[in-house]
Amino acid sequence: MSLDKEKLLQSLVNGEYPDAQGRYGPFGGRYVPETLVGAFTRLEEGVDKWLNDGNFRDELNTELKNWVGRPTPLTPAPRLGERWGAEVWLKREDLAHTGAHKINNAIGQALLAKRLGAKRIVAETGAGQHGVASAAACARVGLPCEVYMGQIDMARQAPNVDRMQRLGAKVIAVTTGDRTLRAAIDEAMRDWVASPNDTYYLLGSAVGGHPYPYLVRELQSVIGREARQQIIDQSGGLPDVAIACVGGGSNAIGLFHPFIADGKTDLLGVEAGGHGNGLGEHSATVVHGRPGVLHGTYSLLLHDDDGQIQETHSISAGLDYPGVGPEHALLAATGRASYCAVDDQTALLALNECCEAEGILIALETAHAFAGARLYAQEHAGARILIGVSGRGDKDLATLLEHAG
Ligand SMILES: *Cc1c(COP(=O)(O)O)cnc(C)c1O
């Protein structure tokens, strides 16, 4: 693959992606079996029709305000700033309804599903966070919701199974394949294919075939749009860097996207370094991955020489995915964003530091972004740092107990 970096960067900054084929330079597109082509085409037409429709935007913005609790605050973090020798600002998605950024996407797609005449919604979930957000959003718009979840994940994340059920969703155990997120996505797609007219598939991150990475980016960009205006208003200018954790990449692309044309603001994505650099020990897809196709999109992923997807590991279940959204692959290839990996222990330390210094219990996923920010501050004394706080850490208390001592 030869890349004309300068040209790709220029197109990226000009906002030309995705192109008409759903591509982000060489990445993205739609690699789906024949049986799914019709469903994807209809979804693309629906997204084109509704996403920028004034009436739909009004309805979405009203729900974001009255039900999700937007705008979320931008919080100065002076005690962290003092420790790090930096000026630190926190964009508080942990304060959004259900405790993380995932609700922005879930309510947006649930409202879209209604406009498209869907009678039911299917979703997949790994750790359960997207399942909970989907269940809540479906209850809100009055559509039945079925969530596919790997059998192994159901055992690991029992409280989230209970939350989904309380919110009215049916949780379907996936006993095929790896019995985790990857198999759950396959099953949700299979369900969608079986009745593409009545069913809407609510995908949880900026991954999958076109138009999902675009749709999710547009719905999550509310994070960056708000944060950009807030930091200008509250600090007097743009940040030197915007930092977010990267699993599939939805909270990061939502924070980064409105800053892409701001050349003086660095973008830093922080992946899960797990407990080592070896096969199966991490889920740092941009840092360690290679190009390939997974779940309908051409992007970076973790696979071996035979194309077999690798097992992944992270202390934070929400970062545990062997692929990443195609726009991140392009941001990395053009150098517009950089990516690093932070290991489990370093993330734990960052979580404790944020609790101590700012009185905020962040999610383990989010803690990776804080650890990345700390490293950035060491190399950029006095920098104005914007961190995307993707979620709150109450869900992680059991994991934290296990790792205490
Ligand atoms: C799911 C999740 C993530 C990772 O997903 P992205 O699509 O990469 O944003 C990060 N933080 C929290 C709190 C999550 O629940």
C-beta 322 within 6 A of ligand 1: no
C-beta 299 within 6 A of ligand 1: no
Task: Assess whether 137 and 257 both reside in one domain.
Answer: no
Does residue 10 fall inside a structural domain? no
Distances in whole angstroms, Cα of residue 204 to Cα of each of 126, 250, 347: 10, 8, 23
Task: Kindly report the protein residue whose alpha carbon is nearest to atom 7 of ligand 1.
Answer: 250
User: Can you give the pLDDT of all 405 residues of the chain as single tens digits?
Assistant: 456 999 999 999 999 999 999 999 999 999 999 999 999 999 999 999 999 999 999 999 999 999 999 999 999 999 999 999 999 999 999 999 999 999 999 999 999 999 999 999 999 999 899 999 999 999 999 999 999 999 988 988 899 999 999 999 999 999 998 888 989 999 999 999 998 889 999 999 999 999 999 999 999 999 999 999 999 999 999 999 999 999 999 999 999 999 999 999 999 999 999 999 988 899 999 999 999 999 999 999 999 888 888 888 899 989 988 999 999 999 999 999 999 999 999 999 999 999 999 999 999 999 999 999 999 999 999 999 999 999 999 999 999 999 986
Task: Assess whether 234 and 349 both reside in one domain.
Answer: yes
A 10 A CB-CB count for 296 gives 23
pTM of the entire structure? 0.97
Please name the residues in contact with 10: beta carbons below 8 A apart, sequence gap of 6 or more.
none
Task: Assess whether 309 and 272 both reside in one domain.
Answer: yes
Task: Assess whether 327 and 190 both reside in one domain.
Answer: no
Task: Find the 208 Cα to ligand 1 centroid distance in Å.
Answer: 16
CATH of the domain at 350: 3.40.50.1100
197, 216, 235 — which closes off a domain?
A: 216
Task: Assess whether 324 and 237 both reside in one domain.
Answer: yes
Does residue 348 fall inside a structural domain? yes
Does residue 11 fall inside a structural domain? no
Answer for the pair 301, 326: CB distance below 8 angstroms, yes or no: no
Number of domains making up the chain: 2
The side-by-side arrangement of strands in the sheet containing 199-202 is 170-174, 145-150, 120-125, 199-202
Does residue 172 fall inside a structural domain? yes
Task: Assess whether 286 and 386 both reside in one domain.
Answer: yes
- Exposed, middle or buried by CB within 10 Å (0-12, 13-18, 19+), for 4? exposed
Task: Kindly report the protein residue whose alpha carbon is nearest to atom 13 of ligand 1.
Answer: 391
Omega of the bond leading into 18 within 30 degrees of 0 (cis): yes
A 10 A CB-CB count for 404 gives 7
Atom number, ligand 1, closest to the C-alpha of residue 392: 13
Does residue 124 carry a catalytic annotation? yes
Structural domain of 113: 23-63+102-216
Nearest Cα to Cα of residue 284 among 210, 201, 340: 340
How many whole angstroms separate alpha carbon 153 and alpha carbon 57? 35
How many whole angstroms separate alpha carbon 141 and alpha carbon 380? 46
Does residue 330 fall inside a structural domain? yes
Task: Assess whether 189 and 295 both reside in one domain.
Answer: no
Which two three-digit tokens encode residue 250? 């939805």
